[in-house]
Chains A and B, each alone.
Chain A
């Protein structure tokens, strides 16, 4: 986990030049991740295979791929009898060898994310104790702070799961949120550095905008020959799935209101996705260095 945090910090600190990830390469990474578990070892394996890509990019890709995989197998794991069976297995094992990392082992055996398994088991546990379905809020709190779980042994196992899962769980959510904020902040700093006047999301919301990108530039800029009115920061890798979701829920809406804009995928994106430039959505993997402002004459821009 430390490693993850380190790498993200390094990206945030300085603009790392990313090698373009084309779709073919992305597929190759995807194929490799098929067999990997969400552990640090897996990330290391990826790094040896794709040494030219930054670790944070690989982590982001891996995380997204893993989430997709989990979503696919969700139905299988969530069937009531399957859940029952997992719980029974845990219970019987806990009696025989309580010291072992039982939930992690079980997660590996059934190919499920440890954090998700922990959640299922806790849910079953609460159901059994209270004879009713536990509220979401209570459940989330228990996963976030395992000492709230009445069964100490279970609490220990749950903590092992959440700490060792680099794709799911409250810690990962927290880290992702923080990275997101960090990059938004970084973006604002860069804009201030360049003396560009802008409105951020909070200001927009208070003014009553119905859709709010991270940044609206009060004076537009041009990047690579394209005018930019708004900037959205995404601290993740832009793959097909996430990009299309974002397009429909956010980017087109921004385009429809504020004209052409820029999306920064700080951890890179599949280069083929950058095909809507003429339609007003420009993709970048970092803060653009080739900004042309209104004050600069056309002569300079043509250089």
Chain B
């Protein structure tokens, strides 16, 4: 447990004890409880991320989304800094965590949350500094100078980064949300996508990115660096990028009709037994390989035991009755299927509740929504930079109801 007192009125640690009691009273699963809780003394905002609970308290009115969003940001920054989130990592770097928290928030108001600026203020831990600290016994991760960007009009960018490299990568990452109902009909299918940019450009570059089919974008959200005017008039993204990796834009594409793979579960139950048969196959070939296919479902509580065998991949049944079937790539010769038998609890004749199958997959090199980048112009740089483009589609909330 790490504690950082933000405002003058300190919050007693006992609030955490209260919180745990509350979590236990609600079933003990921190991911299932409300994000905003009114405790007898405080209002708590909680965020559960990778096994770590981020908890913030307030006693007065404030926008709750602000609290939650800030916790998300803290989690993001810490993940970014520490290369992951778990108890050990935080313990290892607790001093840095303290320093970051101190920079990110002042008296209950977010101070510096832009990762690029934070990086300049507090150096992220890396192998080199670790080695140095062993060798020399000295280690300072606090920067001596104030990043210039804090004073500039573009707070997300340091004023004069020096790079040996001169390159910019644009990465389309899409997540597909789809729901098939129990009749196998596609109820809802949409894509949530992000344009991720990784820029290492010298000076103050001015970039313009345009899509060849911007009309398919249903709605959008921008990084603060994007200028609103050009988008409103010509649907062009014009921006001065932060240094390093950032999410330039996120978008939604709705009313899609195609899904890359199908999952057909069949459950027939009688006389205390339930036959399960799940078929997986490619529906619309995206042109690239679909990999990391997984099918996951929760066995109903009334299932006493399960015996499931796949003809491809492996099946794992976890303690909480989650059944994971990892398929990987779909082989050419056969279509993967999972079949087996579930034994219901005594006294139950038929299965009356049906699990939802969550499907995971990944397609490299394809933006499934069909969004295409038309061109990327870089101005204001001494030499033409290297430009790279990538795309990736993976499953989001992709589920099939049995």
Same assembly: no
* Interface positions of A (Cβ within 8 A of B): none
